[in-house]
Amino acid sequence: MIDVIKVAKQLKSAVLADPEHFYTNETGAWVTGLPTPQEIRVSTGREPYWINLGYWRDVERVDENNCERVGELFKSAQEQMAHLLAKTARLGTEDTVLDCGFGYADQDLLWAEQYRPARITGINITPNQVRIGRERVKLTGLDGVIRLEQGSATALPFGAGEFSVVFALESAMHFRTRSDFLREAFRVLRPGGRLVMADMCQKTDREAGSGLRRRLRHRYWRGLIAFPEANVWTTQRYVSELTGAGFQKARLDSISADVYPGVNTAITALRGMTAVERKLGSVTVDKVRESVKQARLTPLEQTQWTTLFNCDEYAVVYAEKP
């Protein structure tokens, strides 16, 4: 029997594509146990609560032989994504950083301790994430470097030229809209400042010529992850939008092959091992292994980020303010 109420809620979420609702009610952290937002607790501040897909180039990928270690491997790949953005930005001790859409602040803790910028300011629209992030910053003794604020990345409460680096780690796809964020990022950057992002888009216009049913299916799934239609860009449009906002030296470096296949098996293993640990249904470790094997054999173009969300590109975005 169809759960009418559940279907109605899903349709509402898909139509609204509301990131605050999504991260307050639907998705917690992509770590061991897949905790929901309501289950996340802070005791030391060092608990990993990463949400990004991970950069798997130099990380052992999850497969049917190591799926019990998915938490450890996924965390390493997620950390590598944060390192990749920091290195792309040439992050250093004199930088003043703005992190837009910081999740539970995992990357801010990493950047503060390993790259030692002068200060990091985070902005996030989700109250629960701001509260938890602040608790973690205080517990780790980094409150003198990191300041986390609640607010919108498309209406930044900061003056012009306050920052030398603006980051958006897998968050700009959710902003209403990404174009508004680019204009705000340009405004708050000082001359010579760098914008660095990890983001999803399309290599070409994959909607062109598609049937109505397929377009509606993609719109539905994108809506469920709070990905507004206004943010569905090709790489060509992405560069054009950056240039139109005033940036120079704009580029998108594709890392799809080092993101999508790796996370495809990681998410499969994480969901399976979580079901085993929580004794959900008849899931066994052997069944998880088989599911992970099938996910490992899935071609890049058939991963869920391509088939469901119609985003076959994952890129590191870089641009500078003249």
pLDDT (tens digit, 9 = 90+) per residue, 85-124? 999 999 999 999 999 999 999 999 999 999 999 999 999 9
Using alpha carbons, list the distances in angstroms from residue 249 to 126, 164, 212, 239, 322. 32, 16, 37, 9, 9
pLDDT of residue 1: 47
DSSP secondary structure code for residue 101 in this structure: S
Model confidence pLDDT, tens digit, residues 271-292: 999 999 998 888 999 999 999 9
Proportion of the chain above pLDDT 90, given as a percent: 81
Q: What angle do CA 227, 229, 235 make, to 5 degrees?
A: 90
Domains in the chain, CATH or no CATH each? 4-320 (3.40.50.150)
pLDDT greater than 70 at residue 77: yes
Q: What's the pTM value of the predicted model, to 2 decimals?
A: 0.94
Q: What is the mean pLDDT of the chain?
A: 93
From CA 128, how far away is CA 25, in angstroms rounded? Answer: 10
From CA 71, how far away is CA 82, in angstroms rounded? Answer: 17
Proportion of the chain above pLDDT 70, given as a percent: 93
**φ and ψ at 21, to 5 degrees?**
-65, -45
Model confidence pLDDT, tens digit, residues 210-263: 677 888 888 889 988 999 999 999 999 999 999 999 999 999 999 999 999 999
